[in-house]
Amino acid sequence: MPIVNFNNSRMSGLLEFIESLNSWGPKSRELGLGTFEQSLGVPGLAPEDNCFLLEEGGRVRGFSLIFPELPIGRSVLEMGIARDLEGTPQELELVRRSVDRARHIGAKVVHICVCGNPSRAKMLEAEGFSLVRVYWDMVWSQDELPDQERPPGFSVRSYQPGDAADLTEAQNSAFEGSWGFCPNTVDQIEYRSQMPNTSNQGILILNDGDKTAGYCWTCLSPLNENTRGVIGMIGVVPEYRGRGISRTILLASMEYLRSLDVADIGLQVDGTNTPATRLYTSVGFEKVGELHWFELLLS
């Protein structure tokens, strides 16, 4: 099966393949396909160079996306493969082509997340990848939110046009030094704030007077025929850590997502991040699975 570079003429075939991997209803289909298509336009991705398609008889049977994160020396690999090709030499060749591309653009390490796919995990280990992080997949599906008291002097508001520079600074300072975090640019924040799976109302900013103390970026994800609310990122500016405001912004964000009548609320968190897992468990999130991150060091 040939492996070819993505171009716009192959977009419809790629989206058809993405749909074949999921059990979406009409509403979730629109959300899922719209989000994937627009994700190809994230500043810095360059899909014509960093997206490969595995084709058979003109039909897409697999894809790989290489997200360059060169400021921290890595590339993140995202893949999808037809179920009958999982763990086959065709999938392995797609991995190798992607690794070669990551090496070519100057990455020192490649990361890939494996979600419940033991054949891919086995294949990656045979290629020299090693398991480096286990993230928890957590879900909240209760009837009522816990009570909350907002700290005096703090207020929560939604993201507004013109906030991108301040939010970029807050996010980069909140996550500096965290495993796998690559600093964002203002262009990337602005672009992602306009994607189909998010909205200005769903990006909540916690202010201390006129200063940004923290934020929570929520989004929506297709869930079979329903929609899941997602806590994407919660960041607290370093000078405000240890004051309990993560819980404040988390509960405000969950309240917003519940207003959208989502089926439930999900998030992913590093299993070694004890303060975060303790926070999520305290408001009712439950662990429902694991996501395994594999790493390959490039010489």
- Structure confidence by residue, pLDDT tens digits, 223-280: 988 999 999 999 999 999 988 899 999 999 999 999 998 999 999 999 999 999 999 9
- The whole-angstrom separation of Cα 66 and Cα 51 is 6
Give the tens place of pLDDT for each residue, 53-104: 999 998 999 999 999 999 999 999 999 999 999 889 999 999 999 999 999 9
Query: Would the CATH topology of 3-128 be identical to that of 139-290?
Result: yes
- The whole-angstrom separation of Cα 13 and Cα 18 is 9
Q: How far from chain centre, in Å, is Cα 216?
A: 14
- Is 90 exceeded by the pLDDT of residue 106? yes
Domain ranges of the chain: 3-128, 139-290
How much is the average pLDDT of 4-27? 94
- Is 90 exceeded by the pLDDT of residue 130? yes
CATH number of 139-290: 3.90.580.10, 3.40.50.970, 3.50.30.10, 3.40.630.30? 3.40.630.30
Give me the residue label for tokens 């171009």. Answer: 7
Kindly report the pTM of this predicted structure.
0.93
Q: Residue 261 has what pLDDT?
A: 87
Rounded to 5 degrees, φ, ψ at 175 are: -110, 5
- Are 113 and 270 in contact by the 8 Å Cβ rule? The answer is no
Per DSSP, 228 falls in state E
What's the mean per-residue pLDDT of the chain?
95
Q: Residue 299 has what pLDDT?
A: 76
Give the tens place of pLDDT for each residue, 206-218: 999 989 999 999 9
Instruction: Name the pLDDT band for 114 (thresholds 50, 70, 90).
Output: very high
CATH number of 3-128: 3.40.50.700, 3.40.630.30, 3.30.70.1230, 3.40.50.360? 3.40.630.30
